Amino acid sequence: MDTITTGTGTSRTGAPRTATATPVDRPTEVPPAGVSRKLLLAGLAAAMLLLLGWYALDRWLTPAAAPSDDSNAQTVTVIVPGQVTVAGTVTASGAIAARRDLPVGIAGEGGRVVQVLVDAGSWVNKGQVLAVVDRSVQAQEIASQAATVEVQEANARLAQSKLDRSLKLVANGFISTADIEQLVATRDSAVAQVRVARASLAQLRASAARLDVTAPEAGLVLTRQVEPGQIVSSASGTLFRIARDGELEMQARLSESSLARMAVGDPADVIPVGTTQHFTGHIWQLAPVIDATSRQGIARIALPFDKALRPGGFATATLRSGSVTAPVLPASAILSDANGAYVYVVGSGNKVERRAVATGEVTPAGIAVTKGLSGNERVVLRAGGFLNPGDKVKPVSDHSGQGGSAPSAP
């Protein structure tokens, strides 16, 4: 600021006035805006450098804490499976068929079919006529032969009558013994002719009867392959197919090993494709040979008749044979690789070890382990795919009902 000096003089009281310097304010100089921003940024940078330096010094002076042995241990769920009795079951598929499929054709010389009396799905009795073949020609032959029989019978009666009269005259000497012998021969020839005529008539009648197509056994008609007006003969092949007594079966295809476990009489539960119905049956026959191409054999399961069981359709069967006592594990606990199936078992010090296992039956509760476990081990239930042998873990007991308790490691 500048100072202004005033002159001397006399005040109103008569006192002299001395000169004084009076300060005068001047406007303050403001630095440019760019300089102020640069100073602010420089200050912030300096503060950050100080903080980083302090942090680095503190980390260098503070000793590192020793890591805990369990700080990196993975928490896993474990179960103690114990021993469970598992029913031996095998699932197979196959076709439904008649247990005894009877093909029926024409037995006689054939002819034109004039009437078909049954259709597929009909029940028939033994000997029942299924189709009628025209027999007009055979009827005329039968009538002709019947007349021949009557003629021969009349001749036989006449020969017998002559013989009887001649025998009465022998005692009086009117007829010689030679004549009697001739009459006896004539009578015997006439009787023989009667027998021949009757046999021919019976043959014609039997041939005519064979024109009808009849059921060889009682049962269910499966197929009908003949219509009225059709010309049939012994070369026509199968006209009807009958399931004897309506008995059906499922032809379950099994591998060699599965077939070896089955026995005649073993129960089976069959479900036809397209339905939810269950049918109970039993094995009544095991195939004596194995197919060389598929390496499979057939277990024939007897089934009662039911409209839902259609021959030719497919079905699945669950066959039960014997039982086994073994640990049962959920599928999540069993892993596999090129070396086979395995599980992880938590051992001493809570370290996991790989255990090779052999699996058996698959049940609703899980998979039976037939080899490799006693049932008292703590088995990793889940997350086994993220473990390696020797890893340390924190075992947690499973409480979902899939396994037993997991005791602490010693």
The predicted model gives 282-306 an average pLDDT of: 92
Angle at 231 between CA 226 and CA 235, to 5 degrees: 85
Note the pLDDT of residue 394: 87
Q: Are residues 283 and 313 in the same domain?
A: yes
What residue type is assigned to position 224 of the chain? R
Q: In angstroms, rounded to a whole number, what is the distance separating the alpha carbons of residues 348 and 78?
A: 14
Q: What is the pLDDT of residue 12?
A: 43
Among the three residues 188, 222, 245, which one is the final residue of a domain in this structure?
Answer: 245
- In a shared domain, residues 239 and 108: yes
| Average pLDDT for the chain | 82
Predicted local distance difference test score (pLDDT) of residue 167: 81
| Chain position carrying tokens 């005040």 | 11
Least confident of 96-105, 220-229, 275-284, 322-331: 322-331
* Cβ-contact 283, 266 below 8 angstroms: yes
Q: Is the dihedral of CA 258, 260, 261, 264 positive or negative?
A: positive
Structural domain contains residue 24: no
Chain segment 331-343, per-residue pLDDT in tens: 889 998 988 999 9
Q: Could you tell me if 108 and 216 lie in one domain?
A: yes
Q: φ and ψ at 189, to 5 degrees? A: -65, -40
Query: Which of 245, 270, 294 finishes a domain?
Result: 245
Task: Decide if 369 contacts 327 (C-beta within 8 A).
Answer: yes
**pLDDT tens sequence across 116-139:** 999 998 999 999 999 998 887 778
Residue 63 lies in a domain: no
Q: How many CA atoms lie within 13 A of 97 on its CB side?
A: 13
Query: Which residue do the tokens 């799905």 mark?
Result: 121
What pairs with residue 97 in β-bridges? 249
Other residues' Cβ atoms within 10 Å of the Cβ of residue 209: 14
Residues 150 and 171 in one domain: yes
Between 58 and 114, the more confident residue is 114
Q: What is the CATH number of the domain that holds 365?
A: 2.40.420.20
Tell whether the model's pLDDT for residue 62 goes beyond 80.
no
CATH number of the domain where residue 117 is located: 2.40.50.100
Coil, helix or strand for 358? Answer: strand
> For residues 370 and 359, is the Cβ–Cβ distance under 8 A?
yes
Distance between CA atoms of residues 187 and 189, nearest Å: 5
Residues 109, 233 contacting (CB under 8 angstroms)? yes
The number of angstroms, rounded, from the C-alpha of 171 to the middle of its chain's C-alpha atoms is 96
Q: Do 253 and 373 reside in the same domain of the chain?
A: no
Say whether pLDDT at 155 is over 60: yes
Domain of residue 181, CATH code: 1.10.287.470
What is the rounded distance in angstroms from the CA atom of residue 131 to the CA atom of residue 114?
8
Token pair, residue 138, equals 């055979």
Whether 28 is in a domain gets the answer no
Structural domain ending residue among the three candidates 245, 265, 293:
245
* pLDDT per residue as tens digits for the range 5-55: 444 444 444 444 444 444 444 444 545 555 567 777 777 777 787 777 777
Q: What is the structure's pLDDT at 31? A: 54
With a CB cutoff of 8 Å and minimum separation 6, the contacts of 396 are 75, 76, 77, 78, 406
Residues 311 and 357 occupy one common structural domain: no
Q: How many domains does the chain have?
A: 4
Whether 162 and 266 share a structural domain = no
Instruction: Quote the crossing angle between the two packed helices 136-170 and 177-209, to the nearest 10°.
Output: 160
Q: Are residues 333 and 371 part of one domain?
A: yes
What pLDDT does 111 receive? 86
Integer angstrom CA distances of residue 111 from 129, 139, 209, 215, 309: 16, 13, 12, 18, 36
- Neighbouring residues of 175: CB distance < 8 A, sequence distance ≥ 6: 166, 169
42 in a structural domain: no
125 within a domain of the structure (yes/no): yes
Range of the domain at 234: 104-134+211-245
Residues 257 and 389 in one domain: no
